[in-house]
Amino acid sequence: MPTVQGLLVDRHKSWRDVEIGRLPFPAAGARDVLVVPEAAALNFPDLLIVQGRYQHKPPLPFFVGRDIVGRIHSVGAEVTEFEPGQRVAAQPIFGGFAEVAVVPVSQCFAIPEDLDAKRAASLGTAFATVVAALGIRGEAKANEIVLITGAAGGVGAAGVQYARHLGATVVALVSSAAKEESAKRYGADVVVRSDRLDNVAVQLRDTLRGAGVDGVDVVMDVVGGDTFDGAIRCLRPGGRLVVVGFASGAISSVEANYLLLKDIAVVGSSIQRFLTQRDERLVRVMQEIYVGAASGKFRLDIDSVFPFSSFAEAADRLATREAIGKVVLVPDWKTLQCPEGK
């Protein structure tokens, strides 16, 4: 039986123990495509899914990996949106860090031929997350003020750029001098350093006022914990806080009467729902972003590039939050042949 190699999870374990292994060559379902990755980006959910701590738990064994760019090897019988040889970005929940990945068509986006693979891979999950969170769930608009927490990470940096694209004023919350410079490069109008605050939950609102920002209309929070507690206090009446993640590891709660008294809303934004349903709003904007990226309009800094076989080293850079920008993986095996793209 033909097999393919990839980063194998045969039991839930530390991401430090993930190694290259083999599984049977996958078959495309009727609405699937097979993608041969040229490059991939590492995300926090990849580490959680290895440990069995993510909300989706694939049956063992499986290949890890959710953010890839490559060329289509073959398509399922009912696929009309894509064809073999076409270049795509894809965000499967798992299975991406391998010689070939099975991806539902709902999780694929066409990308330009002239967009560098590593740069394209760095954009996928990060920009899809912020388009869903800010554009769809948060309904951010021109002339509003948007607060982005964790603004130097991949999702945060994408959020800064997308909020500015929508015409909003952007306030970035970061935790170091290097991250402050990164947020400024991406176009943040105001940058606040959380490492200079003794208590973010209590001091953030007054710190913003000191910087001339008397409340915000939308918050995209990727940090949670004390940062969430401080950010929600900054919302103006009618404001929206969109929960995207909990990079701090702490999950906050809020009393319903607080939402009523402040006249604000707290909503979650799960990118997986939008990908599973192939939300046309998301598809349209993401394709605009990939075209814009080819001309330099949208970008994410690449912190480092590792071969797939150095997954543990790459994951350690992400897990310790040392990375400023995206951690990218590239194949260190001979890639499968695909039809030529048009």
Say yes or no: 76 and 159 in one domain: no
> What's the confidence (pLDDT) of residue 162?
97
In a domain, 339, yes or no: no
> In the structure, what pLDDT confidence band is assigned to residue 341 with cuts at 50, 70 and 90?
low
**What is the 3-class SS of the chain, one letter each residue?**
CCEEEEEEECCCCCHHHCEEEEEECCCCCCCEEEEEEEEEECCHHHHHHHHCCCCCCCCCCEECCCCEEEEEEEECCCCCCCCCCCEEEECCCCCCCECCEEEEHHHEEECCCCCCHHHHHHHHHHHHHHHHHHHHHCCCCCCCEEEEECCCCHHHHHHHHHHHHCCCEEEEEECCHHHHHHHHHHCCCEEEEHHHCCCHHHHHHHHHHHCCCCCEEEEEECCCHHHHHHHHCCEEEEEEEEECCCCCCCCCCCCHHHHHHHCCEEEECCHHHHHHCCCHHHHHHHHHHHHHHHCCCCCCCEEEEEEHHHHHHHHHHHHCCCCCCEEEEECCCCCCCCCCCC
Does 50 share its domain with 161?
Answer: no
Assess whether 157 and 244 both reside in one domain.
Answer: yes
pLDDT at 46: 94
- Of 141-155, 213-227, 321-335, which range is least confident? 321-335
Q: Are residues 89 and 146 in the same domain?
A: no
Q: Is residue 335 in some structural domain?
A: no
pLDDT tens-digit profile of 104-139?
Answer: 999 999 999 999 999 999 999 999 999 999 999 999
Region 44-72: mean pLDDT is 93
pLDDT band at 340 (very low <50, low <70, confident <90, very high): confident
Instruction: Find the mean pLDDT for residues 23-48.
Output: 94
236, pLDDT greater than 80: yes
**Domain membership flag for residue 133:** no
Question: Is 156 found in the same domain as 198?
Answer: yes
Within a domain: 134: no
**CATH code (residue 302):** 3.90.180.10
* 258 and 278 co-located in one domain: no
Last residue of a domain, one of 252, 268, 284: 268
- Residue at 340 is within a domain: no
Over residues 61-85, mean pLDDT: 96
pLDDT grade, residue 278 (50/70/90)? confident
With respect to residue 337, please indicate whether it lies within any of the assigned structural domains: no
Task: Please indicate whether residue 312 or residue 252 has the higher confidence score (pLDDT).
Answer: 312
Banded model confidence at residue 250, pLDDT cuts 50, 70, 90: confident
pLDDT at residue 4 greater than cutoff 60: yes
Structural domain boundaries enclosing 182: 139-268
Choosing from 268, 299, 314, the residue where a domain stops is 268
Q: Are residues 180 and 213 in the same domain?
A: yes
5 — pLDDT class (breaks 50, 70, 90): very high
Quick one: pLDDT at residue 342? 53
Q: What is the pLDDT of residue 90?
A: 95
| Residues 37, 20 within the same domain | yes
Average pLDDT of 36-65? 93
| Same structural domain, 295 and 243 | no
Q: What is the mean pLDDT of the chain?
A: 93
Query: Worst-scoring range by mean pLDDT, 165-169, 241-245, 323-327, 337-341?
Result: 337-341
Asked if residue 336 is part of any domain, the answer here is no
Whether 118 and 231 map to the same domain: the answer is no
Final residue belonging to a domain, choices 233, 250, 268: 268
Q: Does residue 309 fall inside a structural domain?
A: yes
How many domains is the chain partitioned into structurally?
A: 2
Residues 234, 290 share a domain: no
What confidence score (pLDDT) does residue 273 get? Answer: 86
Same structural domain, 253 and 316: no
